[in-house]
Amino acid sequence: MKSENIAKELRQQIVEGRLKPGERIPGRSDLVSDYRASLGTIQRAINTLIDDGFLVSKGTFGTQVSTMPPHLFTYGLAIPQPSTETWDSFWLTMSDVAGKYDEEGNIRFNIYRGLVSEGRNSDYQKLVYDIESHCISGLVILGAGDIKEGKFIRKTAVPTVLFDEELKIPELSSVCCDYYSFLDKSIEYLSSKGRKNIALLVDIKFPEGRINHFHKLIAERRLSSKPQWIQALGICRSSIPWVKGLVNLMLQQIDGERPDGLIIANDNHLFSAVEGIVMSDLSIGQDIDVVAHANFPLIHPSPTGVERIGFDCRTLLSSCIENITEIRNGKKPGFVRKVHAVYEKDLSPR
């Protein structure tokens, strides 16, 4: 349609800076003459650009380019699964933080759900449109391992950020949580409490390098851990009920020894793990001290006595924006930005 071509041309002028933020666009009669189109066709093109956030109507002052056009101020957050019922706590927290990222509305996030079902849902089609129409400055993909064959990873049209510690796609960039710093702070905390026998509960995808780092910290501080005190379980809904029994077994006294410190490295395990501690007739803060991973800000309050150490999702999103901005300004992609763990008490107010 002619109106779509006109909208595309005006949009391109805005993206390329020929029409600048806050600048008044030519009047309707001038556009009718320039494009040899009817007034109705021109109005449909303008309405499209208003809907997309590129233009704002100022009444008698005419129509102006938005002072915050989407190609500069709007970002996409893509999540593989369509239903929050299947989301883990990280996805839930990130989507919640994205929706509240900038209360003044200067920076916005569009959230797209269900990227695993390529082309079969409205969010997928909306993301395709937003990329092709320059409606987002860049894209952040959560759970990229679930959509590694997807078009948004195979062929990027905007600066794209993954959450991946080992970035293997040079066309993208990455932001990752520095779990080595999480283990550093966890051991530091338990050691400060005088704990000597340390257990570790992780998810099944916890890399071997992190386990080796845990052993290194144990040795450096002259603490103790045993193979049976280091266990892993999945974080899917069918796995979580098994956490309680596993933690109960981990905390049993064998040959006169049992753990007096526990690190829970994935917050999806936390509440079931605490049930396992209760099942073991141990009291948190007396018989055992517990450190649990957290995605800040917390969606659910922590169980009493549990020390939360983790990653501020607001900082993670800010780091994603930094990646996107640097790439748009000419930096070559293929780099990884790490975010360090923080104690809950050290979180900066927002």
DSSP collapsed to 3 states, 195-248: CCEEEEEEECCCCHHHHHHHHHHHHHCCCECCHHHEEEECCCCCCCHHHHHHHH
Residue 329 has what pLDDT? 94
Residue 97 has what pLDDT? 95
Residue 347 has what pLDDT? 87
Residue 81 has what pLDDT? 79
Residue 178 has what pLDDT? 97
Q: What φ, ψ does residue 334 adopt, rounded to 5°?
A: 100, 10
Beta bridge partners of 342: 310
How far apart, in Å, are the Cα atoms of 270 and each of 91, 279, 292? 16, 14, 7
13, 21 Cβ separation under 8 angstroms: no
Alpha helices (runs of H) in the chain, residue ranges in sequence order: 2-15, 28-35, 39-51, 70-73, 89-99, 122-132, 151-154, 179-192, 208-220, 241-250, 270-279, 313-328
Q: How many helices (H) and strands (E) does the chain have?
A: 12, 14
* Dist. CA 184–CA 204, nearest whole Å: 20
Whole-model pTM: value is: 0.90
Q: What φ, ψ does residue 98 adopt, rounded to 5°?
A: -60, -40
* Dist. CA 258–CA 240, nearest whole Å: 23
Residue 180 has what pLDDT? 98
5, 34 Cβ separation under 8 angstroms: no
pLDDT digits (tens, 9 = 90+) for 289-331: 999 999 999 888 899 999 999 999 999 999 999 999 999 999 9
Residue 171 has what pLDDT? 86
Closest CA to 203 of 177, 223, 224, 225: 177
**Which structural domains are found in the chain, ordered by start?**
2-65 (1.10.10.10), 73-177+316-341 (3.40.50.2300), 179-311 (3.40.50.2300)
CA angle 67, 72, 74 (to 5 degrees): 100
Does residue 4 come out as left (phi exceeding 0), alpha (psi in the -120 to 50 range) or beta? alpha
For the chain, which ranges sit under pLDDT 50? none
Write down how long the chain is: 350
